[in-house]
Amino acid sequence: MDDCTRRQLIDLIKREVVLATGCTEPGAVALCVTKARETLGCEPEKVELFLSKNVYKNAMGVGIPGTGMIGLPIAVAIGVVAGDSNRQLEVLNVDEYEVAKAKRWLESHSDAVSIGVKVICDKLYIECVCSKGDDTARAVISGRHTCFTLVEKNGQCKQALAHDEGYATCADSGGCCALSVGKVLDFAINSPVDELRFIYDTVKYNAAAAAEGMKGYGLCVGKILGQANRSGDAVHRVVSRTVAASDARMDGCTMPVYSNSGSGNQGICCTLPVYEYAQILGVDEEQTIRALIISHLMSIYVKQGIGRLSALCGIVNASIGVTSAITYLQGGSYEQVCYAVKNLINTIAGMVCDGAKPSCALKMSTGLYSAFVSAELACHDKVVDATDGLSERDVDCSISNLGRLGHDGMNETDDIVLDIMTHKRN
């Protein structure tokens, strides 16, 4: 692999694997509110939000860090009274004084916040209009959680469109660093390890969140699975320690985690099982680093075809990254990594995203158990037939089929899921 392509892939990972506090959808909404308020130049009297259905459903039921509350109103209030747009996806990481201030603002402005769904827009779309008197400011995030495509005050543009040319090059199948399973493995296995060492930062933060989650958050999936593992089963141990971080994050823990492709849960999933399993196997730091790169970059690759937000749960692409890395750690060949990927695609491809919430930890556990089974079969040279389901003889075609399902095939599913979530009878 040439130096230029290698640098582009390193830049891609660094752009997609970043720190985030709390669920990224309400975080991005708070960021958009913050930018609109900063542009307005004063505290608004009214805040209007127009969200894509994907953003809306992912922000309805998830805990907002440090507040003891769920949903968007408190995230909006933090953006109004304490937000700093320079903090990007850590905009919700505020102290107790600022949380209390946001709650007071929300109590006194209960009729000032309106939230609606925008029908025709990008699947990741956030529009915020802040107003006071005759002045209005509008900010729009589209395509990526931190990408502002419009910032204006009183109809006058205040910021140039934030097109990320580097991302477009790598995401575009025609780009010089267009991804494939072969390219991911070549990059991860053959690049100088010192150039990849940055990925180890993900372990420190995500492991800290897992340790906190073991104290008992949300459904306590990680804590209960860990306590139930009396036999000391390695896979059970890996899964319990990983999903504990999701328990904490989805229930409003204030600790930041490294995200992947705009999702903290995907970042947790790509990091912790690979690191924990490497520790169990006793492999050295270099092999662990290369396995982490495989996991994160493979997930990014699969996610590019599915799209930033989808009716397909992000644990699907993250688990594909994990099964690839596990197969590598077990000494698997390129062909066996391909087998593992195809096995997993034919196992959990239909997992639906029904919003961010504490029970996401359950879906993560399902994806991880399936990742281990898929890798184990692959290492015994067992793979689903090319005639089965989404699978084809070529692994990249199989991944493309999964992307087509997630990006195009499940659009109606999004509408039905959102309708169910907003019209519950209890």
pLDDT tens digits for range 166-196: 333 334 333 446 899 999 999 999 999 999 9
> Are 299 and 270 within 8 A, CB to CB?
yes
Q: Look at residue 161 in the predicted model and tell me its pLDDT.
A: 60
Which helix H or strand E contains 156, and what residues bound it? strand 156-159
Mean pLDDT of all residues belonging to the chain: 93
Banded pLDDT at 60 (limits 50, 70, 90): confident
Banded pLDDT at 366 (limits 50, 70, 90): very high
Banded pLDDT at 65 (limits 50, 70, 90): very high
Could you report the per-residue pLDDT of 281-301, keeping only the tens digit for each? 999 999 999 999 999 999 999
**Sign of torsion, CA 397 400 406 412?**
negative
Please name the amino acid found at residue 182. G
Banded pLDDT at 415 (limits 50, 70, 90): confident
Q: Look at residue 162 in the predicted model and tell me its pLDDT.
A: 56
Please determine, for residue 241, whether its predicted confidence score (pLDDT) is greater than 60: yes
Q: Look at residue 167 in the predicted model and tell me its pLDDT.
A: 38
Is beta strand 113-117 parallel, antiparallel or unpaired with respect to 46-51? parallel
**Sign of torsion, CA 411 417 418 419?**
positive
CA 338 to chain CA centroid, nearest Å: 23
> Are 22 and 97 within 8 A, CB to CB?
no
Q: By mean pLDDT, which of 8-17, 269-278, 295-304, 409-418 is the weakest?
A: 409-418
Q: Look at residue 305 in the predicted model and tell me its pLDDT.
A: 95
Please determine, for residue 414, whether its predicted confidence score (pLDDT) is greater than 60: yes
Q: Which residues are registered as beta bridge partners of 131?
A: 46, 136
User: Percent of the chain, pLDDT > 90?
Assistant: 83
Banded pLDDT at 59 (limits 50, 70, 90): confident
Burial label for 3, CB within 10 Å (0-12, 13-18, 19+), is exposed
Please determine, for residue 384, whether its predicted confidence score (pLDDT) is greater than 70: yes
